[in-house]
Every structure is written in structure tokens, then in C-alpha cells.
Structure 1
């Protein structure tokens, strides 16, 4: 049961593990969630499993203003052995005990730092954490409480362990996660390297449209060319135009007469222009417009073949083009008068007044009022919209105007001007890369942070035969 408790809490609360075991411990598959093994009501039982068990509980380490007792270490080691089974016998007992003690020391240091920083955990946060553990173990709360009791553990002890884990989690967010950032350039480099790896031993069937831009072209010409190809891409994505027909009609590339068909190209011979674009596409997918020294390009992947060929599922999102008028109560106009003004504006809209003109005149949203309340294209299911606003957007058809409704900010009127389904496969891939890089950087920053925390702290290890796995 305690293994499930530890695993559940680690997954639910601290998905990024900053504590790294030595290579020998990792090779045995020992987990790194020792923090939940540091205290238990069955210390005497755990201690009795060790040879030469002593009635007197000795101190094995002094950590800052606290201590780690031999019974705590014995409990942690016993649970590791229970989880690892015969694999634990591959590691000398003294090395195993030393490594587990190192993890207990690091957990204690983090808890002490969190308390020094004044970090607090509310009872509601602990309740939520326990709920997540129960969910991870596929139990309702009654089942979970019975399982905790059957494991000779009180709920007070569990709550204290959850409190410590949450303290450490908040501390890491403040001192580690706040320093982690992933730039667009980081994502670009990763995708380029990934494309090079993925390109090996694959072949791609590609169609291509090129709208050239001369070297001395002015900004107006450049933007007009980009806009032309963006409009063409939208027609292709919407299904109004076939890519091959568009290529034959508009492309200035050498394959234009063949519908832009470039035939099968080996991945390791893709030009630099296509190297980070083509491998990221799924068959049938059209790229975003991109530019190089020749001009603006658009490609469509017809098919891919060869070893490790992957067909990434498309990510399609629903978007709504909308305008709004936001009326906020203020010192001069209270909530009732603000609602009445909204009703008057709604009546004028029903009578045929222009929405954009009324937004410019009345809307209190300074960011959009001058643009006639234009919010552009929004994704109701992904953006942080007021739930009431989201429901209104979902219910409106293009051209319809919502009734006046109240939100957290005031009173709002919406008009939906269009709807579309957009292919966001490439953006989704970039988001996945950003998360991956963020996790990698978090681990690296976390290891440095823990090393510094250990170096700056007072730690007196008194365990006989201790061998540090932290280089100390």
C-alpha cells in the first residue's frame, strides 16, 4: 500500500523529479520518491528487520536544525528492499543505506528551506492532494482510508507527509521553475535536429508552390506576396482549391506544370529550406507559409515511406471570429445602470446599428474598442475565457448577436462573424517540444539547485560506513 501511496503522490503532485539516484541505484530500478518513506508509525517493526536492532533510536544524520533517526532510515531501506525484491541483493547493503540516507537528507533540507521561505500549505490543499492519491490508486475516499488504516498508518501521518511534499513542490516552483524558460529559438533548434534524425531512411512525396521575391523588393511587395500565398493556403486548407491546381496556376517553381509535384525525395537529401518543414508534416497536411532567400514557399506532403515512417494524427481546432462590447460598472455608473445601457445598445443592434461603431463608442475594453471590438479568432475550448462567454460563443452562429450577459468584468455583448476549423498540427508539435525542453531544463536546474542546497547546509552524517553518493 505505501508503494502506491508514494507513487500516487509523486505523480499527482511532483511530476518532475529533481532528485537523481546514482547509476548503481538506478540500475536496480529504485524509485526516487523516498520523501514519503521518511516517517511512519511502525518504526519499531522496521528497525527490527535489521540485524543487531537496538532499542535506543540513534541519530544517523544531523540536518540543519533537525535530525534523521536510524529507525527512519531502516524503514526507508526496508521498503526499498520490498519493492526491488531480489534486485536489491545486487547492491552492497552499506551502499544502499548510504544512498537512501542521501535522499532523506535532501528531502529534509528542502522542507526546512520551504519553511524558512514562509511557504504554507492549507488544509484544503492537503485534502486535494490526498484526493489525487486516492484517485491514482483507483479508490474512493472510504476505500482509501480503510487501506491507510490497514497499513498501520494514521490519516494524521499521511496528511503530514502530503504537507511536506506540497511544501517541496511549492519551493521548487519558486526557486527552480521560475528560472526555466524555453525560447522559440530553442524549439526551432530541437525541431531541426529532430527533423534531421527523422529524415534518415525515409522518402517523402512533396508538392510545392513558390512565389519568388526579388532581392531588392520593398516591404510592400514582400507583404503583398506573403498575403497572396497565405490566402491561397487558406483556400487549400478549407478545401476550396486543390493544391496541385493552385501550384499549376500560381507557382513559379520548376515543378509548377506538374502541379508542384517534386516526386519522391530521400529524407537525408532534403534541402535546408525543407529540412525542418517536411518531416514535421503528416500525409495530406499543408505547411504554413515560410520564406527563404528565393521567396515564399508552401508545401504539401503527399506521402511518406521507409523505415520509421510516422503518420502523426492531425490536430484540428475550432475557432470563432468575434467582436464584443464590454461595459464595466464604475463610480459614475453602477451595475444596474450599466446593465440598462447594455439593453439599450442591444436594442440598437436589433434595429440595425453597426456593431463595430457601437463598440468604438461604448465599449470599456481599451484593447479592442478602437478596432470595433474585434477579438480576432479565438478558441473557446482552449483560451481562458469566462465560462459564460464560452457558452455564448458556442451557441452563436455567424452573424448572430448574443443577449446582454454578465461576466466577472461587467456586462458583455458578443457577435460571431465567422467559424472555422484550423489545422494546428504544427503548433501542437511545437507545444510538445516546448514541454519536453522545459522538463529537461527543469531537471538540470533542479539538480544544480539541490547540489547548492546541500553544499550550503549544515549536514553531519553519523551513520557508520557511510559512502556519499553526492560527491561529498
Structure 2
């Protein structure tokens, strides 16, 4: 059974990895495994229409149940709704290009997903079935990502080119003896109220080439706490950046801005202000351990005051267990993940922190919960010699990162143009 203490963490890790490969969706407070979903009567009638496609009550219940079993952070029903709407948008795009998910690729994706939970596919499907999740629900979840990759490659692959200079610059962040530090600025443009307008603003910001203009845009448009500093972030090690974001930033010249990246209800843009070699040796990390304590009230004065009080009273991640004592289990999450498995917004905040430092820049549950994010530790790994680095692999990483940016923008466009009726 998936409820077993041994199996459940593997499934949570598997979901984190798949979510990192796809786009981080709406995240929020995690539910414990044993809770029942509200309104879980299974209806086969349509409950949401997305253009000419429908989502049934049964599909919504099943996806929510699967996310609950995986212990995905966020309200499982809200997250299921967002994922299924995106699935229909992706399916509509695939229809326009005459694409369908290849059965062998879907089977391979399911097998890979199960393998990340240290299970064979039949064992994984049986475990899901024991928790009330059908095989078709799991298959649809994987198939949507498979066909979306086909759409993105077909539409944008010809626009993605990587120069040898860009490869050299990316390798420099991990292949040279000395470390590399970057000075960046950030803007997070909220998309909840008007996705189309947000996409237009983000596109204009991506064309900015001066630090002053970016700072002005940050003060005007950014939802991040750094807006008061013009979006400026202190020097940080390039190796601390989220793996998916690092090649995009390292491919910039000072003053240039990344393409918009959709992160938890916002379009994120990053400007490289400066780059330098550090005196300390560069270090890669195999795992990062961090804790997230959720405070009701979002960025309200009361919630921020509570966060400040907690920060003054604790020294390490272990102290958070005392803070959370007597509260629901899902109010505190402590995980150890590979850098590539960490959601990008969390990864970006962790990049700014040293061990036992705290960030309160993020929210979850549609802004209703403040995230008290604490870095517990980083586990270092060995660094390959330059001769051991596969330049083609670096090229592919850069291409995939840029394809991901195109994919996020295209999905935001599809959503802004869609007719969604509940």
C-alpha cells in the first residue's frame, strides 16, 4: 500500500521530479494521506469546459485523489483543477498540429515515473489502485506531458540555437577551479488577475537592457519583496542557482534579461548585473535539505509578524518541530531533494541562503499561506574535470532550458485566449 512509511516518501520524491520536469503548478498547503477530499462524489458529467473540451467530475476527483496520495503540496482539488485545465489546453494545441501521444513514449514515461519511486510499473499501478486511483488517471497524467513535449519541440525547436561561447560560459560555472558569483535582479509579474496583460508586461521587461530600467520596472510591476530594492539580489554563487535557471542566467551578458519563466502564479524575469570569479572554490551539491513552515494569512501584517517572531526564536530546522507541535501535520514539510527536483521559486530563494537562514518571500495556496522557508543543509558532490564534461550534454541542457521558457510563454498565451467555463 502507498500508505506505508517506506513507500510514501518515494512517491513524494517521484512527484517532485516529474513536477520539476514539467511546469510548477499552483502550490499550497499539503494534505496528509488519510484525509478525505471534500465533495468526492464521482460524477461523470462535465464540470469544466475548456474551449471545446470538457473535464468531468470523475476526472477531477481522480486527479485530486492521485495528487493527495502523492502528498503533493497544495490543496489537491485546486491543483487538480489547474493541471486538468492545462492538460486540455495542451491537448487542444496538439490537435491543431495533428499530434497524439505515442503509446510507447507514454509507457516509457510511466515506467520511468515508477522507477523514481523504486517500483516496477505493475507494482506502482497496483499500489495506486489500492488507494483508489485508476491506471487510466495515471496514464493520462503522463500522456499529457508526452504530447506537450512534442508540441513544444515542433513549434520552437527551430528557434533554439546555442553558440560555442554560450557553452563555454555555462561550463565555466561548474568546470573551472575557482567559483563564479553572479549579481542578479529579479521581477515576478503576477498572472492571476490578467494573464494576457501580465504576459505583455513580461515581454516588454525581457527587452530591457539597462539596470536602471529593470529596477524601475521591478518597483512598478514586481510582486516579490525585493521590489523595494529595485529587484536587486545580493551576490550569490552560480552553483547555488536552480539547475534549470542557471544556464539561462549564465548565457546572459550584463544588462540582458531572461525570457519570462512561469513560477507559481507569476512570470519571473532575471537580469544579470555582474559576474565575477570568487576566491573560494566552486561547489556543486547532490542534495539540498530544507524546511517549509506554512503560516496562515499570506503576506498579511499578522503573518509576517509571526514569521519574524519565529525567526528570532529558532536557530536550526530542528527547532521548527517545536514550533509546529500540536498543529496539523501538513503545516511543516522538511524534505531532502536533488537541486533539479526542487521547484524553481523555492530553489531561487534557497540560492540566497546559507545553512539555517530563512526566507519569507514566498506564498502558497493562492497567496493565503506565507512560506517560512529555512535552508537546513547542502550536501556537496565532486566536480568533474573539464575534460570529462560532455559539451553536447551542456548544449542540450541549454536548449531544453530555452525550450522550457518558450513552452511556459506559449501555455500562458493559450490560457489567456481560452474560454474556461465552470
Say which structure, 1 or 2, has more relative contact order (CA 8 Å, 6+ apart).
Answer: 2
What TM-score, normalized by structure 1, do the two folds share? 0.36
